[in-house]
A = this chain, B = another copy of it.
Amino acid sequence: MQHTARSQAAPAPRTGVWLVGARGSVATTAVAGAAALAAGLAAPTGCVTESPDFADAGLTPFAGLVFGGHDVVATPLVERAAALVRDGVLPAGLAEAVRPALEAAEREVRDGSASAGEPQYTTARRLAADITAFRERHGLDRVVVVNVSSTEPLPAPDPAFLSLPELDKALAASGTLLPASSLYAYAAFHAGCAFVNFTPSTGAALPALEELAHLRGVPHAGRDGKTGETLVKSALAPMFTQRALRLRSWSGTNLLGGGDGATLADPAAARSKTESKQRSLEDTVGHPVEGHVHIDNVPEMGEWKTAWDHISFEGFLGVRMSLQFTWQGCDSALAAPLVLDLVRLAALAHTRGESGALPALGFFFKDPAASTEHNLTLQYGTLTRWAAGAPVREAAEQPAREVAR
C-alpha cells in the first residue's frame, strides 16, 4: 500500500515532548509508559492512536519520543515513580525496567519558576530558550509542549487578552498578567512548537494567543483531558437526546486524592473545572439541566478517583426514571496514554502545516477548542477522518456552532 511504502522509506520522525509539570504523576507515567511501549514491555492499552484507524497516518513511533520539561518542584521522576508503584499505578518490575528512561527525562527538566519582579515577557523568553535548546540538543524534528501541571484559577478578563500587540505590550511591563499555563503557551508558540493543554487552566484559549499561533504557524489543542466522569457523560448524554428522553437533572460528585484533589479544593480552581464539565452537558442536550457537580479532595484516595453521577429523566407520558453510574479510575493511568496520543497527533498537524486550534482533537477534551461537539462517537469519527488526511475544507463544513463559540 502506498502509505506504508512511504512510511517505510522515510526515516521515522523524532518528536520532543516538553512537559510542563514534568515531575508530576501524569508526566512520570507518560515517560515510563512510552519507554515500556518502545521496549515492548507492555501492550498499548489506552493508546487511541495505536488503533488500526491510525496505522497509515505516519505518527511518531513511541521510540521516537524524547522527553524533557519544566517543573517547580524538586522531587525527581524516579522518586515519583516509586510512589506510583506504591499506589498501584505502575507495576514494580516495569518501574525498575524503565529507570534509565526516567533518569534521562530527569536530566532534561528545567526550573519553571519566574524570577521575582521580572516582566512576564522575560520569563517567557527564558522558557522558550529552554525548549529551543532541548530541540537542538537532541536534533528533534519538532517539539510538542504539553501542560500537565496543576489546575490554576481562571484569570480575570483583561483587554490585553484580545489582541497580540496589546498582549506583547502588557507582558513587557512588570506584574503578572497571564496565568502560568498561558505564559507557557506563549513561550511554546514563540519557540515554534505545538502546544497541548491537558488541564482545565486557560492555556492557549485567549484570542491573542490564537493570533500568535497562526502567526507562527503552529497548532494547539485543548483543553481539559476527558478521563473520567466527563468521558462517560459524553458517551451517555447523546443517548437521551437520540431517544427523545428529557433530562431533568444531572448531578455529580468526584472524589479525588493526589495533587489534583488538593489543587481543586481551592474553590477558584474547582470552578474552572466544574464550569467546563457542565458546559459540555448542556451543549449536548441543548437546554439547561438542574444539578450540581462537586470535586472533593479526599487525600487518602491517592491516585484514584471515584465519580458518582445521578441522572433523572422523564419518559413517555411524564414517567420519571433514573440512571446512576460510578466510575472508579486511576487518574494518571487514564491521562498518560492520551498525552502520548496528543503529542503524536499535534506533531502530525504541525508537519501538515496546520495552525491554531485543532477542532479534530475534540475527542480528547472536556472543553474542546473550536468545537462544541461532545458526542464521543461523532468526535471519534471526526478524529479518524482527520488523521486519515481528509481535506481541511471538510472541517470548514462543520455546523456553524462548531466555530461560533
Contacts and interface: CB of A to CB of B under 8 A. Distances in A.
A126 B325 CA distance: 49
Contact of A244 (B46, B253, B290, B292): B46
B249 A298 contact: yes
Contacts of A325: 323-326
Q: Which of A251, A253, A255, A319 has the most CB of B within 10 A?
A: A319
Interface in A326-340: 326-330, 333-334, 336-337
Contact of A333 (B238, B319, B322): B319
Nearest to A255: B251
A216 to B, nearest CB: 32
A246 to B, nearest CB: 5
B244 A47 contact: yes
A175 to B, nearest CB: 34
A243 interface: yes
Nearest to A341: B244
A53 to B, nearest CB: 9
A200 to B, nearest CB: 19
Nearest to A53: B242
A238 B239 contact: no
Contact of A315 (B50, B300, B337, B376): B337
Contacts of A327: 321-323
B253 A46 contact: no
A58 interface: no
Contact of A317 (B51, B248, B292, B333): B333
Contacts of A244: 44-48, 50-51, 337
A291 interface: yes
Contacts of A296: 251, 291-292
B316 A45 contact: yes
Nearest to A334: B315
A91 interface: yes
B316 A312 contact: no
Contacts of A245: 45-46
A80 interface: no
Across chains A and B, which 7 residue pairs bring their CB atoms closest together, nearest first?
A377-B377, A46-B316, A319-B333, A235-B239, A325-B325, A253-B253, A248-B300
Interface of A: 29, 32-33, 36, 42-48, 50-51, 88-92, 94, 231-232, 235-236, 238-239, 242-246, 248-249, 251, 253, 255, 290-292, 294, 296, 298-301, 306, 308, 310, 312, 314-319, 321-330, 333-334, 336-337, 363, 375-378, 380
